[in-house]
Chain A
Amino acid sequence: MPKDHGIGASNKRREDIRFLTGTGNYTDDINIHGQAYVYFLRSDVAHGKINSIDTAAAAAMPGVVRIFTGADFEGIGGLPCGWQVTDKHGEPMKEPPHPVLAQGKVRHVGDPIAAVVADSLDQARDAAEAIELDIEELPAVVDMKAAVQEGSALVHDDIGTNLCYDWGFVEENKGAVEEAFSKAAHVTTLELRNNRLVANPMEPRVAVGDFNRASGDSTLYTTSQNPHVIRLLMGAFVLGIPEHKLRVVAPDVGGGFGTKIFHYAEEAFCTFAAKQLNRAVKWTSSRSEAFMSDAHGRDHVTKIQLALDADNNFTALRTETYANMGAYLSTFAPSVPTWLHGTLMAGNYKTPLIYVNVKAVFTNTVPVDAYRGAGRPEATFQLERVIDKAARELGVDPVELRRQNFITEFPYATPVAVEYDTGDYHATMDKLVEIADFAGFEARRKDSEAKGKLRGLGVNCYIEACGIAPSNLVGQLGARAGLYESATVRVNATGGVVVMTGSHSHGQGHETSFPQVISEMIGIPEDQVEIVHGDTARSPMGMGTYGSRSLAVGGSAMVRAAEKIINKAKKIAAHLMEASEGDIELKDGAFSVAGTDKSVAWGEVCLAAYVPHNYPLEDIEPGLEETAFYDPSNFTYPSGAYCCEVEVDPETGKVTIESFAATDDFGNIVNPMIVDGQVHGGIGQGIGQALLENCAYDENGQLLSASYMDYAMPRASDVPFYKVDHSCQTPCTHNPLGVKGCGEAGAIGSPPAVVNAVIDALHSGGHKVEHIDMPVSPSRVWAAMNG
């Protein structure tokens, strides 16, 4: 019998009512009396020297309040990078400045050159057209391998190279890996590209800056996954506003997927301009602007090699990857191809020796940073593709080859610096075989063949490191921030609870799932618990939502704060019942004395805390409010096995997803219905990456895919119903909830299953195709079959 409340119940999402009735409060729904509007004039060339910007005519246009250029930001900090990677020689990465508005050069299509503030958006846009620009176009750096050749044009002249860093991991193992390859019975090599993607939350980014002249306080309303991080970065590093004079609010946010983690120029601009002009300034991104200013994702070019012994045991793995940074270092960009990618290369397998080389490269393209999965999809894709290729070369079953090499004993220290605490990879694979009906596949393939179609089945496993992250560890790895999370639990006098969390919900359903945890702990109904998030003035310092961390880290902080509450409440209850504190039990919203029929209700204890007439004032303070900061001791390691079945039309090359099944081990689960949805959404994005999406540049650095007519998003007609299962649960051993995180798994685990299925289908038709780069579009499939 499924639970109907508390941890494990599929509670309906309380936030849905406002979204379903059109009464959500998103940033673009916020308008401040007298606000002005800003339009950013953006570069239409990928690379150029700014000779002059003449704003005189534009400034005289109707409604124009003021026009800002890079010159207005001289002496003001640029956008900071939050992670410093050290290269294989022990040198710090190259870290060029990232101005709010371009200074001297433009470095990608979309780079903001001038900001026109006017009474209306139309006036600002019209005036921007009257700005006279003299930009001398320079050769564009687009191809990563060419970018690091001698003589390439330079994105940043001052640093003398386009190489941000050349990272080796683990550098000390390199010799041993080489030796293992020299002794291998079989080596499988695969070269591939992990296609550049655009996250595309349906809500474009918005920023509204406001300034209160009376108090001297600045406020920024923004579409962010982590308002406290924006306050810290923008206040301390860009604008020099102390945190007590700066409030950042991220209200209802329409999806993030990573791209709303980062601190963007438009946020700093609106906050800055509001203060300069003593008037609120609003910016709403258009969709085409989003394509050329939101941080992009993925874009790796990789060569991966897997060494096996004569018994098909994996003996070593080595990879060489070029990772695109784009034109500037976005907030967490350097960490994505390194610590979020190299550390995952062991996957689910006991490969004893691994060496990962990553060259991060500057190009004249939009900055690239974390997008759902961030480094882990790239790791999973190459590993699970090379294993499939190895199985084919060796003539063995790809599932059996995986099983043979599974890690089975935990904790397991990988050769790439992480320690998996728990997992059961055979269990998730067993479940996958069952729910995906492997047994019936050959019959389904015959049915497809009878229709003239090729059918393929693709399988892969994944592991991810999330619940990001132990602060002292990431500090050693170059993070310039801590990655704890905070919560304040405030119990009101009448017993209701407000949780102020540093986590941020932009689709994840925290307003529903977090109260389930409090309900479970205290025994009060969920509707007695309110969640407050997204406002630096209301929540303690938090690090926000990304890396599948909200429940594992933010939820743990909430549990720790609630434990403090319960401990204090037990002291009060003991006093009220004249009993020993050690004998007090809390169950179903009432305190009782063990072994007696004495009891006092939760609400009575809460009231006593705030009306402390009969109260142990000599021992404890009145009130019932506690704050906790939780810093995880390890990452969490969700894992799973995914299966995709496709049909390929040999006439056209079109791939149709016939079924998709996912088995995930997320440890304990608070709300299964929400978890299902998270997995569904991730799979949808993974199918998008595998079959449809591609952010394309031409050789001049022109962005070719800056609208939904050019960038193919998955639509309802492109995907099937998904079979998902999360009954295999090995709880996390080091956080109080035993949870691992479920937000990114679908996007990490699904692309290789799709491509493996397509390759399998083609082989069934006699086409000896070893690889097709994503997106596996009809033209690519047709070309591979007929090439």
Chain B
Amino acid sequence: MSKIHVTTTINGDAVEFLADPRETLLDCLRDHVGLTGTKEGCGTGDCGACSVELDGTLVCSCLVLGVEASGKSVQTIEGMATDSELHPLQRKFVEHAALQCGFCTPGILVAAKSLLDRNTSPTEEEVRYWLAGNLCRCTGYDKIIRAVMDAAAELRGEAA
């Protein structure tokens, strides 16, 4: 099948790649753009490991075609930290040890950032239900929830 030229923006950078029209955005990110931080945990949209933002909407990149990114803006885990500084969520994940094997972590961070962009003061229950689409097999979720709530507090300017 002939490939389609996709012009898109990824983490603020203009990016072009050639995609087979059947390829997922996840595979395009990993195989064509070299951004392997986004992970495939299930390929069916049930685990959230491949979470990215597409024009500000949280999506499972395994359920989006690569060609759909054309003309849109994609945010992946690789764009979360700046050159010199971790995002507060990333920093809180270190402080709370909210990850173990790290495989689900990029998706959880992208999803958590999407939550905090919408809701600066989520309750524990809101965090748990927002992240219910992201499976983690290592942590039992305890420290993840604490880290997200702590990051939210910091972003609100409250002392930890």
Contact = CB atoms under 8 A, between A and B. Distances in A.
B44 A716 contact: no
Contact of A16 (B102, B103, B131): B102
Contacts of B103: 19, 24, 26, 201-203, 254-255
A72 interface: no
Give the interface centre of B30, B44, B76 by most chain A CB atoms within 10 Å: B44
B97 A677 contact: yes
A412 interface: no
A191 B124 CA distance: 39
Nearest to B95: A12
A775 to B, nearest CB: 16
A677 B137 contact: no
A681 B100 contact: yes
Contacts of A683: 140
B102 A252 contact: yes
A709 interface: yes
Contacts of B125: 717
A29 B36 contact: yes
Contacts of B81: 20-21
A684 B42 CA distance: 20
B144 interface: yes
Contacts of B131: 715-716
Contact of A12 (B94, B101, B136): B94
A22 B76 contact: yes
B134 A19 contact: no
Given A201-B137, A507-B101, A715-B132, A21 B80 contact: yes
B35 A13 contact: no
A716 B104 CA distance: 13
Given A713-B135, A716-B134, A20 B39 contact: no
Nearest to A746: B140
A430 interface: no
Interface in B115-160: 124-125, 127-129, 131-146
Contact of B101 (A28, A255, A682, A708): A255
A276 interface: no
Given A287-B42, A708-B42, A19 B140 contact: no
Contacts of A507: 100-102, 138
Contacts, number: 184
B137 A680 contact: no
Given A23-B37, A707-B44, A681 B138 contact: yes
Contacts of B104: 202, 254
A286 interface: yes
A252 B131 CA distance: 24
Nearest to A750: B140
A200 B43 contact: no
Contacts of A29: 30, 36
Contact of B94 (A17, A254, A680, A719): A17
A187 B138 CA distance: 40
A708 B46 contact: yes
Q: Which interface residue of A28, A253, A683, A717 has the most chain B CB atoms within 10 A? A: A717
Contact of B38 (A19, A22, A684, A719): A22
Contacts of A709: 44, 46
Contacts of B72: none
B120 to A, nearest CB: 19
Interface string A625-636: 000000000000
Given A22-B35, A507-B100, A202 B135 contact: yes
A674 interface: yes
A681 B94 contact: no
Nearest to A286: B43
B100 A255 contact: yes
Nearest to B89: A20
B13 to A, nearest CB: 15
Contact of A722 (B99, B129, B142): B142
Contact of A716 (B22, B47, B100, B141): B141
B36 to A, nearest CB: 4
A501 interface: no
A707 B46 contact: yes
A721 interface: yes
B90 interface: yes
A21 B37 contact: yes
A332 B133 CA distance: 34
Residue among A202, A257, A508, A681 facing the most chain B CB atoms (10 A cut-off): A202
Contacts of A24: 37, 102-103
A11 to B, nearest CB: 10
B10 interface: no
Given A713-B135, A716-B141, A717-B132, A16 B99 contact: yes
A17 B102 CA distance: 10
Given A21-B78, A202-B49, A719-B141, A674 B37 contact: no
Interface in A252-290: 252-255, 257, 284, 286-287
Interface string B82-110: 00001000100111010111111110010
A708 B100 contact: no
Given A20-B86, A202-B41, A680 B142 contact: yes
Contact of B139 (A15, A681, A713, A717): A681
A717 to B, nearest CB: 4
A202 B47 contact: yes
B1 to A, nearest CB: 9
B106 A22 contact: yes
A193 B145 CA distance: 33
Contacts of A716: 127-129, 131-132, 134, 136, 141, 144-145
What are the 10 tightest A-B residue pairs by CB atom distance, in nearest-first order? A22-B37, A19-B102, A684-B140, A254-B103, A507-B101, A507-B100, A708-B46, A22-B77, A680-B140, A287-B42
Given A12-B97, A17-B94, A255-B103, 15 more contacts: A16-B102, A18-B102, A19-B103, A22-B35, A22-B78, A122-B22, A202-B103, A202-B135, A507-B100, A509-B97, A676-B97, A680-B139, A681-B140, A685-B140, A721-B146
11 contacts: A24-B37, A28-B36, A202-B104, A202-B135, A202-B138, A287-B43, A507-B100, A707-B42, A713-B135, A716-B128, A717-B129
Interface of A: 12-13, 15-24, 26, 28-29, 122, 200-204, 252-255, 257, 284, 286-287, 506-509, 673-674, 676-677, 680-685, 687, 707-709, 713-717, 719, 721-722, 746
